[in-house]
Structure 1
Amino acid sequence: MSSTELPYVPASNVLPKVAPVRVADGERLRSVELPGITLKIRSRPPAREGLPPALYVHGLGGSSQNWSLLMQLLDADVDCEAIDLPGFGDSPPPDDGDYSINGHARAVVRYLDAAGRGPVHLFGNSLGGAVTTRVAAVRPDLVRTLTLVSPALPELLIQRSAVPTALLGVPGVVPLFSRLTTGWTAEQRVRGVVTLCYGDPGQVTPDGFSNAVQEMERRLQLPYFWDAMARSARGIVNAYTLGGQHGLWRQAERVLAPTLLVYGGRDQLVRHRMAHKAARSFRDARLLTIPDAGHVAMMEYPKAVATAFRDLLSETEPGGAASGTATERADTTSTGD
């Protein structure tokens, strides 16, 4: 252990009183207790009985709220649930402090096994894309289809704008950053995140921005906030260095599930050129590129992502809803509006 890295200390069971997590109209947030972890699950009631199940997994610093817009659009197509990974959203830290890609993937697998909902239509964004790729590779029995939005798969040369995020995984950087930004307001922090993650920050509505500020204020009061961020960022960096059968690209090649890949042309965290490598790596891939989208296309262009998923659903589910062709096979690129 580096001299600048503090040992993991489990968070106290007594946490400061913070504002409740926002739950949108029609959503439900419940707690699931599993050995060593407690997970919060966000869901919407399906439009009718018998819809196939879906599970959504957020990215670094995100939460299940990142999927609310897409869940609302797809509640007539799938039975939607979104997970708060351990240490994020409203889920407390894992007892063992494991924020690696494997640790988060185990949390997803344990939830699906306990809930008996598999196989599911599995969605992942950024960090969640790496996590769900690993889940689909090692537990194909749990996955019907895989939809990846700007997945955090290894790149030889990361974009300059992604360097600060990667640096969060370096021991000692987070305490330093926390001290340097002590005077930053929640509004300033959210504005920085929006500028980094959205292709066009102007798309964020005033209500959406206000809700994000409230959520940031809530998270900053949590004693484990920065630790979860740092250790999860380190988990991404460590996963990038793995080779052999444990490497994420090798595991992508093992995924059997039909896969929808969604990339943004203005993504500052994942290079758009990685879309073509991903399309070649996943066995049964479809590619949707949205030129004006950034890193969170499901929040920026939820209708385009929903349409592309329905196309995938029409191929894989009996009686699946068919819609206009928003995706192409893996050897081509299409645009969303």
Structure 2
Amino acid sequence: MAAGERLRTVGLHGITLTVRSRPPAREGLPPALYVHGLGGSSQNWSALMPLLDGLVDSEAVDLPGFGDSPPPDDGDYSVTGHARAVIRYLDAAERGSVHLFGNSLGGAVATRVAAVRPDLVRTLTLVSPALPEIRVQRSAVPTALLALPGVAGLFTRFTRDWSAEQRVRGVTALCYGDPGMVTPEGFRNAVEEMERRLALPYFWDAMARSARGIVNAYTLGGQHGLWRQAERVLAPTLLVYGGRDQLVSYRMAQRAARAFRDSRLLTLPQAGHVAMMEYPETLATAVRELLADTGELAETGAIGATGTTGARS
């Protein structure tokens, strides 16, 4: 566990969630909640959270069946099911509306939360959100069975015969624009976490069902479709896309910027699928600018994001 972090378990109707948090830098900071992607955990936000200590009161949740959270009682791993878990937690926490963050699967979940419960979301920050693509990247669809960008590749790298170290190397190669950015200590920690997860009896079930849940969400039309729900989001939205992302196409950035009515776009040409782990300082700068731009930040300084291009739609 990263320095300054603490974990607690929250029991809610039908689910038990593990929540990672940091002590707030001062009283009265607005709350923030971070939602991880498929196969991830709240640890995926540990590099970003301390950089936002003076801006928000940070909490990151382990979705049901991931990290340290056990499976949901009803076995519902759909995007709607995960969104329902997040909403249930936010309602129970009674912290008011939050700055909501989501990566990949967590981006789809956060989009749905923001669309159906606008009262819970102050701003929305989506890092490589898993929104439906018409033209899927070749590297993301080795089979036609899983019609979700990247999931088939992810499962290929999670081959059961591989050691935990081999699996971590495969996932790192898939998710990072430059796998060399992972430190030796970070790699060792990831291997230990992988070994722990592989020992869980529900690990593969949670992975497969959540992947299928995103595939199903991709096929929904009408008001329940993810793009339609993106258009309903009222919260100011920061969209973050990586130029080397093998799971969510860089091409989708402009479409997403058009779909979210109040959006800002941050493109990181060298980033992969997990910009909050690869370029946390750059993302923290963009978040500060979002809060300042939307009146959520009392005091701002002169801040610039190097190595990025930004656009407001």
TM-score of the pair, normalised by structure 2: 0.93
Paired residue for 1:191? 169
What code does the residue aligned with 1:304 have?
T
Unpaired segments ≥5 residues, structure 2:
none
| Percent identical residues | 79
Shift of residue 314, structure 1, vs aligned partner: 0.9
Shift of residue 259, structure 1, vs aligned partner: 0.3
Counterpart Cα distance in 2 of 1:320 and 1:155: 39
Shift of residue 159, structure 1, vs aligned partner: 1.2
Please point out which of 178, 181, 191 is paired with 1:213. Answer: 191
Counterpart Cα distance in 2 of 1:308 and 1:248: 24
Paired residue for 2:94? 116
Paired residue for 1:324? 303
Q: In 2, are the aligned partners of 1:311 and 1:323 still within 8 Å (CA)?
A: no
Unpaired segments ≥5 residues, structure 1:
1-22, 332-337
Shift of residue 105, structure 1, vs aligned partner: 0.1
Please point out which of 41, 49, 61 is paired with 1:71. Answer: 49
Counterpart Cα distance in 1 of 2:108 and 2:127: 10
Q: In 1, are the aligned partners of 2:31 and 2:99 still within 8 Å (CA)?
A: yes
Counterpart Cα distance in 1 of 2:58 and 2:258: 29
Q: Once superposed, what is the RMSD of the aligned Cα atoms? A: 2.0
Compared CA separation, residues 165 and 24, structure 1 to 2 (3 A): farther
Paired residue for 2:265? 287
Paired residue for 2:277? 299
Counterpart Cα distance in 1 of 2:178 and 2:82: 30
- The answer on 1:201 being equivalent to 2:179 is yes
Shift of residue 151, structure 1, vs aligned partner: 0.1
Determine which structure has more spread, i.e. the larger CA radius of gyration.
1
Counterpart Cα distance in 2 of 1:88 and 1:147: 21
Please point out which of 95, 116, 128 is paired with 1:150. Answer: 128
Counterpart Cα distance in 2 of 1:270 and 1:328: 18
Pairs aligned (count): 304
Counterpart Cα distance in 2 of 1:293 and 1:197: 9
Paired residue for 1:89? 67
Counterpart Cα distance in 2 of 1:167 and 1:37: 29
Q: In 2, are the aligned partners of 1:77 and 1:321 still within 8 Å (CA)?
A: no
Q: In 1, are the aligned partners of 2:141 and 2:147 still within 8 Å (CA)?
A: no
> Which segment is superposed worse, 29-38 or 310-319?
310-319
Paired residue for 1:240? 218
Counterpart Cα distance in 2 of 1:232 and 1:166: 17
Counterpart Cα distance in 1 of 2:79 and 2:299: 32
